[in-house]
Copies of this chain bind each other. A is one copy, B any other.
Amino acid sequence: MGHRLADTSTPARLAAPDEGIGHDELALATRNHGLPLEALRYDVTPPGLHYVLTHYDIPYVPEDTPWPLTVAGRVRRPLRLDPAGLRAFPAVTTRVTLECAGNGRALLTPRPVSQPWLVEAVGTAEWTGVPLRLLLAEAGVEADAVDVVFTGADHGVERGVEQDYQRALPVDVATGTEPEVLVAYAMNGAPLPPQHGWPLRLVVPGWYGMAHVKWLREVTVVDAPFTGFQQTVAYRLRQESGEEGEPLTRIVPRALLVPPGFPDFMSRARVVRPGTVALEGRAWSGRAPVTRVEVSTDAGRGWHEAALEPDDGRRWAWRRWHYPWTAAPGEHELMARATDEQGHTQPLRQPWNRGGFANNLVQRVPVLCLEHDGPGAAD
């Protein structure tokens, strides 16, 4: 009897009804982390608060490690760029809101067993790098090119398949300007942190996180559709496991609110005192600009228009919104929902898919408003 990868890897599965989060899901949740929702207050997420998801280990890349980026395959002039060669191209800085395709997964019933996000797998950063289209123009993409494949240095096994993490973009997306894809070497003005792809990563504004290949080593232009694991097995919208499924691409609209007041440590329930409570949050969509945010303070019975702040020309970043709420003693449920220019909005009941992807169920924040406004309210 051999010892094979299949021994350590199991097929995708759904949790049984009432099955709590398992040790495997917890091991992912203690490594990866979301944005603490109070950090929605920052325009740009401070280091360490931006969500992180890595499939395998974070590669250990000491500062002086040679890291040639290759651009090869169906190109006329293959490139091999060291850091100085890359920095010789014009640099662009873009503020981007990045969300994990699996955000909201742990709220689904049945729950797909994977990284168990609630609603917090999001963050906004300023990414600096070279537009991919400039690198591809320099290399000279052949006329028969179909996909551009991105290979990271992160290595692992998933459902029995040993792999370096790889994803592809269609050539027209890779060379496009809406969004302009970046090969990024800085985050918020500093070198990339290890967990965000040091020394190089892809940034595909408006797309879910799985497209933004970290620890990027190779860009390979191919003349047939890419069929790697992360493209055709994982990250597909499916109802049944045998289906081909739809690929995941751009982020669907979502609004999140900063939970007001203060929390209970264990239940995370929110407590406010009577009076005006300045509700605020952020909204984003990778599909089309957000044009509207509505707030409900009574569990969705009534909806009120929130004030949406200008985007200041930052199409790919979240927008701040605010709404003043007059809280009265009692229990309340706050909600917020975004609508984009194409009329896409957020559901009150989440349609289900087997991978738990592209969820944008309206957030619900239960709030207890105390009777009194003094510190004696705890008595």
- Within the complex, the shortest CB–CB distance from A164 to chain B, in Å, comes to 10
Listed in ascending order, the chain A residues whose CB lies under 8 Å from chain B are: 2-10, 19-34, 36, 38-39, 41, 46-50, 52, 54-58, 60, 106, 113-114, 116-118, 120, 155-162, 193-196, 259, 262-269, 271, 329-331, 368-371, 375, 377-379
Known A26-B106, A31-B36, A193-B47; contact A262-B157, beta-carbon cutoff 8 A: yes
Other A-B contacts than A47-B48, A57-B263, 7 sampled, CB-CB below 8 A, are A9-B264, A32-B33, A47-B47, A48-B52, A57-B262, A157-B265, A159-B266
A233 to chain B, nearest CB (A): 12
Of the candidates A39, A56, A268, A331, the one having the most CB atoms from chain B within 10 angstroms of its own CB is: A268
Known: A29-B29, A156-B262. A36 touches B58 (CB 8 A): yes
Contact of A8 among B19, B34, B157, B264 (CB under 8 A): B264
What are 6 contact pairs spanning A and B, CB under 8 A? A20-B20, A21-B26, A24-B266, A26-B116, A49-B193, A158-B266
Residue contact A368 to B25, C-beta cutoff 8 Å: no
B residues near A50, Cβ cutoff 8 Å: 48
- Contacting residue for A58 out of B26, B38, B60, B379, CB 8 A: B38
Chain B neighbourhood of A265, CB < 8 A: 55-56, 156-158
Copy tally for this chain in the complex stands at 2
Contact A267 B371, beta carbon cutoff 8 Å: no
Q: Which 8 residue pairs are nearest across A and B when measured between Cβ atoms?
A: A20-B20, A48-B48, A33-B33, A21-B21, A29-B29, A8-B269, A38-B57, A158-B265
B-chain residues with CB within 8 Å of residue A2 when the two chains form the complex? 329, 371
| A55, closest chain B residue (CB) | B265
A267's partner among B21, B24, B118, B368 (CB-CB below 8 A) is: B24
Bound Cα distance A47, B7 (Å): 35
Nearest chain B CB to A211 CB, angstrom units? 17
Q: Does the CB pair A30–B120 fall under 8 Å?
A: yes
Output the least CB separation between A258 and chain B (Å). Answer: 9
Tell me if A377 and B5 are in contact (CB < 8 A). Answer: yes
Quick check: B24 and A21 within 8 Å, CB to CB?
A: no
A4 and B371 contacting across the interface, CB-CB below 8 Å: yes
Question: Considering the chains assembled together, what is the distance between the CA atoms of A345 and B377 in angstroms?
Answer: 47
